[in-house]
Structure 1
Amino acid sequence: MNGRLRGATTAVAAFVLLVALWELAKWLLPAAGVTVGDTRILPRTDDAAMPHVWTVLARLGAPEVAGAADPRSVGAAVAGGALVTLGLALGGLVLGGIGGTLLAVLMQRFALAEKAVLPYVIASQTVPLIAIAPLVAGWGGRIAIGGWTWEPWAGVMVIASYLAFFPISVGMLRGLTSPRKADVEMFHALAAGWWTTLVRLRLPASVPYLVPAARLAAAAAVVGAIVAEISTGTRGGIGRLIIEYAQSATGDPSQVYAAILGAAVLGLVAAGLVTVLELGLSRYRGATA
């Protein structure tokens, strides 16, 4: 409990520090920024580029569309979009978690598989996500199985899982190989097979590595879902809101910053939900490599 309280306190302190640095930059830096030759080395800090934090927060309570018959506040729109994106990100996290865990088990079981697959797993994360998203959407649109056809949200979930599987596969592989050689030899001496050693020794030893990897994967899944929504134009999520609000950013930058703030909070919520996994595996918290 004390550890989680410290973590929450640290997160709040980091947010307060970020707000203070934002306002300090607006106060100290020139409103037009600093340009040397044709290169801008410091950004503009006027209200059209960097609105005050309290202006962004106040915008959350303002109507999304002025004069609408059934006005919806910006905060309600951001919350609704964030819930849609959160569902897709969590779906991608589950898919990526299952795929990453199975891949880690395969690489631990067969040394040849680790040598053959791990370099490609690492290299896969160097491919620009914004280039992959349209390809996934295009390929998925051609899939039709029985009466089921590929929906745009499925592509978003797949792209989210693409970013989520990497930290989980690497973290799980490190955890599965973490038991001491003496412990593994003791299991062999007791005639325990590979499966028994995996379940009784390697998986419990991997929990301290899995939980932080899952937090990283949750945040990565949110990023993947938002980028996929922006790249493919999928409606309903917060990525689409960022696009729509960015179109009016020159006249009302606080609105797009409200959506960006919602996306940042969404990432923290997704990472915080991993605490449920941590509580379920709390009895393995003391497992050591």
Structure 2
Amino acid sequence: MQAEVLVEPSLRAPEGRAWPRDLLKRVGLTLVVLGALWAFWEGYRALWMATGWTRPFVVDNLTMPPAADIVSRLWEPLAVGQPPLIRDLLDKSAFTMREALAGFILGALIGFAIGVVLHHSRLLRRGFLPYVVASQTVPILAIAPMVVIWLGGKGLPVWMPVAVIAAYLTFFPVTINTIRGLDAAEPRALELMRSYAASSWDVLWKVKFPASLPYVFAALKISATASVVGAIIGELPSSIQDGLGGAILNFNQYYSLDPAALWATNLVAAALGIAFFGAVVLAERLVVRAAPENVA
């Protein structure tokens, strides 16, 4: 026992020193990728403008503004005497984030609940799952106005219909992967629980749910970015000007005068989606590492 106690800290020490190095590598790789994207953007512009190629589209300062102009536009004011564009976009991002987060949580809960029900009933799965799949074939732009009309006059907060639209895009991946994850539980573990006369509830939460975590988190990564997209799209028919959807719509109307503003807004929207994705990745590392060894 003493030998084990003495060896264990020495084994953990390199792991403790490894995470800062791993973080630096990830940051360095991110900067390299961003630099490569910047170089590709500028190289593409320079080549197409120098040769006059028009396929797949004409390249000029209107269709592809310089990357430096897009980034610098974030720090320029919307108009004389107003704060920088980045401050306004951050405020709008916070509003859209609330809608997307509410939709993400709502959609994840609904998707997980549907997955559990369909996992336990083969009859419901055969009869109901095709309609779950068919729900995703309807364009979200066709559903969004109907959701706004249905919920707009119910006394709910103005952002609630948008959250429901975000939930609509979120629940499907969670439903499918929940079913797949629950079905993937170790048969020997299920037999052991049956030998102990465990209830269906105990089997679900002590065996099947831990086994489904990798599948569920894979779906949540997809749903995280989809919730941001759903929130932005849902703001358009809702006439909400406080979010990124309203900013995109406004800057789209004046694109010919200020194309860099729309591209800058797209950058902020992409950053919001990446932040949602990163939060799910962090939660996955914390939760799955704490799961049983055969699951993690």
Q: Give the TM-score normalised by structure 2.
A: 0.86
Q: Does 1:103 align with 2:114?
A: yes
Shift of 1:90: 0.7
Q: Does 1:58 align with 2:72?
A: yes
What is the SS of the residue equivalent to 2:159? helix
Matches within 5 A, 1:20-31: 20-30=39-49
Q: Which amino acid aligns with 1:54?
A: A
Distance in 1, Cα, partners of 2:143 & 2:127: 23
Shift of 1:182: 2.4
Residue 124 of structure 1: aligned partner: 135
Residue 217 of structure 2: aligned partner: 211
Residue 284 of structure 1: aligned partner: 291
What is the SS of the residue equivalent to 2:71? helix
Shift of 1:15: 3.3
Number of residues of Structure 1 aligned to a counterpart in Structure 2: 276
What is the SS of the residue equivalent to 1:257? helix
Q: 1:12 to 1:47 in 2, by over 3 A?
A: same
CA contact (8 A) 2:145 2:237 kept: yes
Distance in 1, Cα, partners of 2:175 & 2:29: 28
Q: Structure 1, residues 83-132: CA drift from partner, whole Å, max 9, x if none?
A: 11111101111000110110111011111111122222122111111111
Matches within 5 A, 1:184-195: 184-195=190-201
Q: Does 1:265 align with 2:276?
A: no
Q: Which runs of 5+ in 2 are unaligned?
A: 1-18
Q: Structure 1, residues 44-89: CA drift from partner, whole Å, max 9, x if none?
A: 2211111111111111110112x24xx1211111111111111110
Residue 250 of structure 2: aligned partner: 244
Q: 1:89 to 1:248 in 2, by over 3 A?
A: same
CA contact (8 A) 1:108 1:177 kept: yes
Q: Structure 1, residues 214-256: CA drift from partner, whole Å, max 9, x if none?
A: 1111100000001111232212111111111112110110011
Distance in 1, Cα, partners of 2:70 & 2:194: 61
Q: Which structure features the higher share of helix residues?
A: 2
Distance in 2, Cα, partners of 1:187 & 1:136: 44
What is the SS of the residue equivalent to 1:241? helix
Residue 44 of structure 1: aligned partner: 58
Distance in 2, Cα, partners of 1:270 & 1:226: 14
Q: Which runs of 5+ in 1 are unaligned?
A: 36-40, 144-148
What is the SS of the residue equivalent to 1:240? helix
Q: Does 1:174 align with 2:180?
A: yes
Root-mean-square deviation (CA, aligned residues, Å) is 2.2
Shift of 1:177: 0.9
Residue 200 of structure 1: aligned partner: 206
Larger Rg: 2
Q: 1:11 to 1:228 in 2, by over 3 A?
A: farther
CA contact (8 A) 1:92 1:157 kept: yes
Distance in 1, Cα, partners of 2:292 & 2:42: 40
Q: Structure 1, residues 131-170: CA drift from partner, whole Å, max 9, x if none?
A: 1110000011232xxxxx0233101100001111111111
CA contact (8 A) 1:96 1:161 kept: yes
Residue 146 of structure 1: aligned partner: none
Q: 1:118 to 1:227 in 2, by over 3 A?
A: same
Q: 1:166 to 1:227 in 2, by over 3 A?
A: same
Q: 1:124 to 1:191 in 2, by over 3 A?
A: same
Distance in 1, Cα, partners of 2:37 & 2:58: 18
Residue 14 of structure 2: aligned partner: none
CA contact (8 A) 1:184 1:197 kept: yes
Shift of 1:18: 2.5
Distance in 1, Cα, partners of 2:292 & 2:206: 15
Q: 1:53 to 1:76 in 2, by over 3 A?
A: same
Task: Pick which of 209-218 and 256-265 moved more.
Answer: 209-218
